[in-house]
Amino acid sequence: MKATATAHPNIALVKYWGKRDDELNLPATGSISLTLEGLSTTTTVDFDDRLDCDVVALDGEPLDHGRPYRRVVAFLDLVRKAAGIDRFARVETANDFPTASGLASSASGFAALATASAAAAGLDWSRPRLSALARRGSGSAARSLFGGFAEMYPGTRSDGRDAHAVEIADADHWQLRCLIALTTGKQKSVGSTPGMQRTRDTSPYFPAWCDTVDGDLRAAREAIEHRDFEQLGTVAERSCLRMHASALSADPGVLYWNGTTVELMHRIRAFRTRGVECFFTIDAGPHVKVFCTVDHLQRLRSMLQKFDGVSKVLCARPGRGARLADAASQPPG
């Protein structure tokens, strides 16, 4: 009853921001992302009948019984219930990139946890079903079950079974690159769940934000299909800025950016006017993710490395979906 899985974070090009159901973690709208290899989470789950509580270690450090631990235990409870088992588990998880800073560590974390815990519990589930399970841990994690470009369906069922991601183009479809400019070492001030709740409950712009998403999903699907960089950049920056506009107009406003974040947005746009193929996106944190074509990678990377306020630049490429370490027993479909 032991399994190990690896998953990568994904970065949304059409953002998810707001839930239609808090309990089942159902998104209010769809979203589209790119799964990124070069950053990974590896998680081992061992259901062991000698344990008298779940034991969780993150990056080698045992977790105390605070919120991150309780999220993992609540997730394991779902798996135990589905598998009809009552054993506690030992969970060891490690990220090779900064945790909880707006770098989508919860996406790769819950995608790896869903894949490893379901296999360890003997559940032979399809990828869409594992994706819906991963969603219970973190909405964006549902997309990391898939490689390349993934689309999350918000679904219409009240039980959430149709709220899962699908792959819309695999990792080899389009050789984009994503540079991640870290603008702080600090953990984010408002998590995505409270940030979304406050936006939904208090922002006068939240309904308007939701109304824009379907059009952006259509435009992004089309841009991906035709590998139209300019169109994808237009949609992605628009979706990012509208998501943040809805959050900024909550009460009190949810502000994830620092000064460097804003300076970088200006710099990316200035580069683009000089013919460099690039666009930015920003999640629930101050880091800036810059997508570019392979041809312009080196020029952008050296600009970002020298940029005042940027502490580190990570580089990622389109990656595979979550998978078990044991290659012979990958989730089907």
Footprint of ligand PMV on this chain (CB under 6 A)?
Answer: 12, 15-17, 31, 106-107, 138-140, 192-193, 283-284
Closest listed residue to residue 173, CA positions, set 246, 114, 100, 226: 226
Q: What is the closest distance, in whole angstroms, from the C-beta atom of residue 104 to ligand PMV in the complex?
A: 6
Q: How far is the CB of 183 from ligand PMV (least distance, A)?
A: 16
Q: Residue 259: exposed, middle, or buried by beta-carbon count in 10 A (0-12, 13-18, 19+)?
A: exposed
Which CB atom, from 88 or from 160, has the smaller least distance to ligand PMV?
160
Q: What's the closest the beta carbon of residue 51 comes to ligand PMV, in angstroms?
A: 28
Residues with Cβ within 8 Å of residue 243, at least 6 apart in sequence: 15, 17, 209
SS (H, E, C) 239-271: HHHHHHHHHHCCCCCCCCCCHHHHHHHHHHHHH
Of 91 and 284, nearer to ligand PMV (C-beta) is 284
Q: Is the CB of 3 or the CB of 196 nearer to ligand PMV?
A: 196
Report the residue number, 2 or 186, with the smaller CB distance to ligand PMV.
Answer: 186
CB of 192 to ligand PMV, least distance (A): 4
Q: How far is the CB of 316 from ligand PMV (least distance, A)?
A: 15
What length is written for the chain?
333
Start-end of H helices in the chain: 67-83, 105-120, 127-137, 192-202, 206-225, 229-248, 259-273, 297-306
CA torsion 240-256-322-88 (nearest 10°) is -150
Q: Identify which of residues 17 and 69 has a Cβ nearer to ligand PMV in the complex.
A: 17
Q: In angstroms, give the least distance from the CB of 244 to ligand PMV.
A: 9
Closest-CA residue to 291 (of 219, 218, 232, 228): 232
Distance CA 26, CA 40 (A): 25
Smallest gap from residue 156 Cβ to ligand PMV (A): 19
Identify which of residues 32 and 303 has a Cβ nearer to ligand PMV in the complex: 32
Pick between residue 139 and residue 148 the one whose CB is nearest to ligand PMV. 139
> Where does residue 65 rank: exposed (0-12), middle (13-18), buried (19+ CB within 10 A)?
exposed
55: DSSP letter: E
Bond prior to 27 in cis (omega within 30° of 0)? no
CB of 113 to ligand PMV, least distance (A): 13
The label of the residue with tokens 């088992």 reads 85
Q: Which is nearer to ligand PMV, 3 or 190 (CB)?
A: 190
